[in-house]
Structure 1
Amino acid sequence: MLFPTQIVVTRELNESGHIWLRALSEKISIQEMENLVEKVRGLEGKFSRELADSVLEVSIQANEQRIEEWKGGGNMGPALMRLMQPELDILEKEAVQRGMERGMQEGMEKGIQEGIQKGMQEGMQKGVQKGMEKGMQKGMQEGVQTGIQKTIEILQDLGHENGKIVQIVKEKYNLTDEEIEKYINN
């Protein structure tokens, strides 16, 4: 052998005397995990707690599937539940955050769709109304212009002089001399 080796069979170790080594195996019992948590809580000093937290972290990773089973089966004792509480709190916060993000995304999508639909309806209504108003205004304006033009043509056909035509059109349509000249010269 190149270097000395020692094999530790954790299941053959005394539970109370070797809890730290037993915790590193993949076959820790729920009672052993709870005892380990209680030992960690009883430690004083930052360095001791950091070392214990490292062992606890390795144990939790090695027994992750078992811990999930304990959580799901309602077999988890209060000490182990307290140990897992930070992890559960993180999972809960993540779930709430994901729920909020999903809700906001769905809400925004629905709001955009409803906004587009409502905007199109209102836009069409306003567009039709504006179009009708402008069309009526334009139609009335063109109708008045045509009426003025035809009045001038009739007066010319009847032999009235331009001065008399200007006077008649000015009274009937309230136009300026320049506006009347445009109609007469067309």
Structure 2
Amino acid sequence: MPFSTRVVVTQELEPGEHRSLRILSNHAKKDDVEEFLRKAERMNTPRDRQNVEAVLQVSVKANDELYREIRRDANMCDALRELMKDDLEDARKMGESEGEVRGAAKIILKMNRSGMSPENIASITGKELDEINAILEGKVPVAL
């Protein structure tokens, strides 16, 4: 079944129009990205925010060096941070959680090295014996 297709040549789009498409190319222009970020800051609905994040994810991957330059600009960096605050907060929480798991694993290894049995470690830490054994067998990453 035939279907219609359209090809968008981002270089041929009007500079002031369709910024969300223009920044998707791997040759995005700094002024297009900055203007997109300014407009994106004013978008408040969850759907708009999801769309902005999707566009930014693609654009950042395609234009790494440009975004490094933009991050050096304090105002634009604040705009990026605000747009991606939910992702940053999720990443921070995941990092904290990972750190806690690794810290507990280090303590469990030290307890075992000082002669404590896995059963005693489980009793003291409140963790399941299977979890203690997984740590002692190296199935849980410990090194930071």
TM-score range, shorter chain: 0.5 to 0.7
Alignment of 1:1-186 (within 5 A): 4-43=4-43, 46=45, 50-51=47-48, 53-64=50-61, 66-67=63-64, 70-71=67-68, 74-75=71-72, 77=76, 78-116=78-116
Give the counterpart letter for 2:51 in structure 1: S
2:138 is matched with: none
- CA displacement 1:82-111 (0-9 Å, x = unmatched): 223332222222222211111100101101
In structure 2, distance between residues paired with 1:21 and 1:30: 14
- Identity across matched positions, percent: 25
Superposition TM-score, scaled by structure 1 size: 0.46
In structure 1, distance between residues paired with 2:69 and 2:97: 23
> Does the 8 Å CA contact 1:33/1:80 hold for their aligned counterparts?
no
Q: Which has the larger radius of gyration?
A: 1
Give the counterpart letter for 2:107 in structure 1: G
- CA displacement 1:109-158 (0-9 Å, x = unmatched): 101222439xxxxxxxxxxxxxxxxxxxxxxxxxxxxxxxxxxxxxxxxx
Q: How many residues align?
A: 113
Q: Secondary structure at the match of 1:116?
A: coil
Give the counterpart letter for 1:92 in structure 2: R
Residues 40, 62 of structure 1: CA spacing in aligned structure 2 closer, same or farther, 3 A cutoff?
Answer: closer
Root-mean-square deviation over aligned CA pairs: 3.3
> Does the 8 Å CA contact 2:22/2:28 hold for their aligned counterparts?
yes
Superposition TM-score, scaled by structure 2 size: 0.57
